[in-house]
Structure formats: C-alpha cells, structure tokens
Amino acid sequence: MASTYSSPHDSNGELSDREPSPGPKQLRVRVSSKHLALASSYFGRLLANSKTVLLPDMWEEFRGDITQPLLLILRAIHGQSRKVPRFLGFEMLYKVAYLADYFGCSEAVEIFADTWIRNAEDLLPMSYTVDVPHWLCIAWVLRHNDLFTAVTCLAIHTIAKTREEYMEEILTSVYDYIDALSLDDSTTCCPDCASLILGLLLRQLTSLKLYPQPDPPYFTHSLNGLLKSLPTLEPPRCSAHVHKLNGCHGRCAVLLPRTGEVLQKIEAKMKGLDLEDYVDLAWVPHVG
C-alpha cells in the first residue's frame, strides 16, 4: 500500500481520511503542513521541497499495514486527542514508538506514554525474550523512566544469570574430570598418569583460585578470565616421566576434551548478539 499525504489545502490542522482512488490501493490523508513541519523534522525536510509526501511501497513488504500507527501519530500531531486510543497492544505500541522516532516527532506522542504503558503493564515479559529490545525502544523513544528501569533491570538480571550458568558449565566439566582422575583408573592410560595429571591440575587450579571449587555466583572470578586461563594450563609430562617406564603409548592432557568443547561453545556465544535477530533492519527505509 502506497501512502500519500497531501498538505496544501488544509490550514486549520484538521486531519481527514479520504476514500481510496480507483487503481492501486492508496490511503490519501489531508493534513496541515505547518503542523507536520513543526512536529516532525522528517516531514519538515520533505515539505520544504514538496507539497506532497510519498511513503515507499517497501514499508508494507517488511511490516504489513502501517496505516493505523501512522494515522495515530498524525492525529496526535494535529491535536486530535479524543481520536487517539488509550490502550495499544504491544505490536502497535512498538510501531508507534519506532515510527515516531524515525519521523522525529516523539514529543507529539509522549503525552500519551503514561496511559499507554500503564495499560500495557500486563504485556511486559517476565523473562528475557526477543521482545525485550522492542520494549527498550518504546521506553527510550517515549522517555518513560519507569519502563526503562524495568526493562534494563530484566536485561541486567538475564546477563548475570547467563554468566553464572556459563561459569557453572565450565567448572562442572573441570571438576567432573577431577572426580574421574580420583576414582577411575581408566580415565588415563595408567594410574601413574592419573596421579601425575591430578596433582598438576589441582596445583594450577589453586594458583587460579579455582580450587577448592568456588561457589555461585562466582563474583571473585570473571567469565573472560576462565576462557583465557584454562586453555593455557601447563600440559602434563607423562611421556617423559611415566610412559617410558611403563611402556604407555597414550597421549595425556591436563583437561578433558569435553572441557575444551565447552570453552569453545561458550566463547562463540560471548561474541555478542546479532541485531537482525531482534530488529528488522530493512523495515524503515532511510531518506537519501
């Protein structure tokens, strides 16, 4: 749906919807150019060079019909408060905030922010989901401090919980190996190697303050520190001290391969999130 906004014939600021003309589906809205230019930096730039504003067809392709959030914003700009709904669903609230930010007219809808957000409190997620960045966008654009505090608190709590889970997974793999070295002679090629590796591993973990095993939430350690230090542990010298005497042919390591796999997996996750997983970057076209 292409949307056309014409401004030259309306001087009193009254917003009106007109029936679509024959041919391709269109929404034609007559608005006040003065109201638009004063409220929106986006429309102000375009109206300075043209009497008609055309929005690209690509908007519908990426987000479906944007008619309602656009009309809502235009009514707010034109002071038609009675025609602005007091309850918005999450998707509508997000679209209004996103478009208001894009058009540079967030101040025109801020007056409704407290009512919208208060009526949408039951829609807030209780745990971190892909909707949280959208709620953060809403709070940021509408300058709503309470919502911003609630959403960022949820995000911070989730980050802390995820950090704790990652560290728990790493340390569990390490201490599972320690238990195996202590109780199972088949963990290595021979009991002598198991004893040598166990002693070496415990000494190195002690120097890293990882032995005895620290307790959650691991405030005395950093996740990055574990990822960097564990792969650099000194390897055992089983081939020099044990293998030649016992005739062993195995290759002994100070950490199980599983610990290395865990470290690689977590390090990959630590590289950050992909913005496109949360926001459709192609949704709003940029003005050339």
- Express each pLDDT in 98-143 by its tens digit: 889 888 899 999 999 999 999 999 999 988 888 998 999 999 999 9
Q: Report whether pLDDT(35) > 50.
A: yes
What pLDDT is stored for residue 58 in this prediction?
41
**Mean local confidence (pLDDT), 178-202:** 86
Judged by average pLDDT, the poorest of 64-78, 129-143, 216-230, 264-278 is 264-278
Cis amide leading into 257 (omega within 30): no
* pLDDT value of residue 81: 92
Could you tell me which residue, 49 or 265, shows the higher pLDDT?
Answer: 265
- What is the average pLDDT across 268-279? 63
Mean pLDDT calculated for residue range 149-159: 90
Q: What is the C-alpha separation between 110 and 143, in angstroms, rounded?
A: 7
Of the ranges 26-30, 95-99, 149-153, which one carries the lowest mean pLDDT score?
26-30
Main-chain dihedrals φ then ψ at residue 199, nearest 5 degrees: -65, -45
Q: What is the mean pLDDT of residues 64-78?
A: 86
pLDDT at position 31, please? 83
23-37, 47-61, 180-194: least confidently modelled range: 47-61
pLDDT of 271 reads: 67
pLDDT of residue 288: 36
Lowest mean pLDDT among 63-67, 214-218, 226-230, 244-248: 63-67
Predicted pLDDT of residue 254 = 76
Sketch the domain layout of the chain as residue ranges.
2-143, 161-269
Model confidence at 9, in pLDDT bands (50, 70, 90)?
A: very low
Q: Which residue's entry shows tokens 């006040």?
A: 32
Q: Is the pLDDT of residue 231 over 80?
A: yes
pLDDT-derived band at 3 (thresholds 50, 70, 90) equals very low
**What's the whole-model pTM score?**
0.66
CATH 3.30.710: does it fit domain 2-143? yes
The pair of three-digit structure tokens given for residue 35, joined into one six-digit string: 């109201």
